[in-house]
Structure 1
Amino acid sequence: MASRDELSLFIRDALTAGNSRADITAALTDAGWSKTEIIDALDAWAETAFTPPVPRPVQTVSARDFFIYALTFGVLLVGAINLVIVLQVLVDLLFEEDGYAVFGRIRFGVSVLIVAAPLYLWLTLRERRRLARDPALHRSAIRKWLTYIALLLAAGTLLGDLVATIYALLTGDLTAQFMLKAGIVGLVAGGIFLFYYNAIRQEDAE
């Protein structure tokens, strides 16, 4: 961390002295700094003719963000799992005669969804209103990390679902019931992935 602070201070002083970014890059490269370190350090300062150099906004971290976003994504994870369970049990209902036994297996999942769905919607809409009022909140590092974790989990679920489907095909176990269940997993995981992927793309485009 200390070395990065020294690099940032050096670039600030070099820009203040009127050195070009190309000259600064060459000097730092000769000193042994990596290309990535140099680019990241230079990007921390806006490319303007103003003196002294103007720092760019940096990502923020707060306990409040951790609590809200961890709760939001936790509720999403629990809700998504139970949504899949409920829908898959309903698929079983199409192929099994004992409907009472099947419905008995989804009571807990339905209970979770009754709590998780409105809570997730409330948390998400509440945060979107805050982001609309104060665009600076988009720079929350915790929010970005948890968003990418959600993307990772969704992508991993999609890949696992695809592997399971191919395996069932190769072993001859690819029944209509299995395909419907795999499709449910794919739709839920794919929906979550697309939702947060589009959110990330919109933020990067702004």
Structure 2
Amino acid sequence: MASAMQDLDQFVREALSRGCSRASIDKALTDAGWAPEQTQAALTGYADVAFPVPVPRPRPYLSAREAFLYLVLFTTLYLSAYHLGELLFELINRSFPGIVSSYENGNPKNIRWSIATIVIAFPVFLLVSAKIGRELKQQAIKRQSAVRRWLTYLTLFVAAIVLIVDLITLVDSLLSGEITMRFVLKVMVAAAIAGTIFGYYLRDLRRDEASP
């Protein structure tokens, strides 16, 4: 795969150096069977400026520091989201107690642990997110970071699975006639958290793909 992309990049460079238009290069590659995303990525790798030879654009690169920042960012996001849901579930259990064990009606230890996690993890998420945001404004090419894309798609996948399972659980309960206020509120909490994360990172990914 890497060799094929190198061949594509070399072809685009050679075609541009011979004065071929970008439209004609795009058509030739499309006719040859290259995917539009691959063709566009190869063409945008060179700046559209007047110069005797093709001028390459700066390209994203992976660094240990970048991987560290994104791993901290998404780990604290997952911790914050999970424990926010856990905290709200426990509060719902307390507000709508059932004829069940005291553990299922709201465990104080779980509530304390969730609050402690959110108090620490969420501010770290905000700080790291702000730092990364400043760097992206200064160097837009970093939006194309491989580690950023992989973790963003992983987050979209997790959020989508949560939403799908949430809806399946809701439909199953509707069909069985076992709907309670406590259950409905928990479904709404899970959907709200997962849906917010999914929507935010989907828009963020679209901005990444729209950037040159």
TM tier relative to shorter chain? 0.7 to 0.9
Tell me which amino acid in the other structure corresponds to 2:185: L
Structure 1 residue 88 corresponds to structure 2 residue 70: no
Q: For 2:89 and 2:143, locate their aligned partners in 1 and report how far apart those are by CA, in whole Å.
A: 36
- After superposition, residues 40-51 of structure 1 pair within 5 angstroms as 40-51=41-52
- Identify the match of residue 141 of structure 2 among 120, 136, 139: 136
- After superposition, residues 92-103 of structure 1 pair within 5 angstroms as 92-96=93-97, 102-103=107-108
Q: Quick one: structure 1 residues 64 and 108, their matched pair in 2 at CA, closer, same or farther if it must change by over 3 Å? A: same
Q: For 2:202 and 2:119, locate their aligned partners in 1 and report how far apart those are by CA, in whole Å.
A: 26
3-state DSSP of counterpart to 1:106: helix
Q: Deviations over 1:33-78 (max 9, x none)?
A: 4222555434433445532122234332221111110111011112
Q: Quick one: structure 1 residues 183 and 137, their matched pair in 2 at CA, closer, same or farther if it must change by over 3 Å? A: same
- In structure 1, the residue matched to 2:114 is 109
Q: For 2:141 and 2:116, locate their aligned partners in 1 and report how far apart those are by CA, in whole Å.
A: 37
- In structure 1, the residue matched to 2:19 is 18
Q: CA deviation at 1:133?
A: 3.3
Tell me which amino acid in the other structure corresponds to 1:102: N
Q: For 2:165 and 2:20, locate their aligned partners in 1 and report how far apart those are by CA, in whole Å.
A: 52
Structure 1 residue 125 corresponds to structure 2 residue 130: yes
Q: For 1:71 and 1:50, locate their aligned partners in 2 and report how far apart those are by CA, in whole Å.
A: 42
Gaps of 5+ in 1: none
- After superposition, residues 165-204 of structure 1 pair within 5 angstroms as 165-204=170-209
Q: CA deviation at 1:195?
A: 2.1
- In structure 2, the residue matched to 1:162 is 167
- In structure 2, the residue matched to 1:35 is 34
TM-score by length of 1: 0.83
Q: CA deviation at 1:196?
A: 1.8
TM-score by length of 2: 0.81
Q: Quick one: structure 1 residues 177 and 130, their matched pair in 2 at CA, closer, same or farther if it must change by over 3 Å? A: same
Q: For 2:177 and 2:44, locate their aligned partners in 1 and report how far apart those are by CA, in whole Å.
A: 55
3-state DSSP of counterpart to 2:133: helix
Q: Quick one: structure 1 residues 136 and 186, their matched pair in 2 at CA, closer, same or farther if it must change by over 3 Å? A: same
Q: CA deviation at 1:10?
A: 3.0
Q: For 2:14 and 2:189, locate their aligned partners in 1 and report how far apart those are by CA, in whole Å.
A: 57
Q: CA RMSD in A?
A: 2.8
| Identity between Structure 1 and Structure 2 (%) | 34
- In structure 1, the residue matched to 2:155 is 150
Tell me which amino acid in the other structure corresponds to 1:35: W
Q: Quick one: structure 1 residues 27 and 116, their matched pair in 2 at CA, closer, same or farther if it must change by over 3 Å? A: closer
Gaps of 5+ in 2: none
Q: Structure 1 stretch 62-71 or stretch 97-106: which is displaced more?
A: 97-106
Q: Deviations over 1:70-124 (max 9, x none)?
A: 1110111122111111100100101228699632432222221121111111111
Matched residues, number: 204
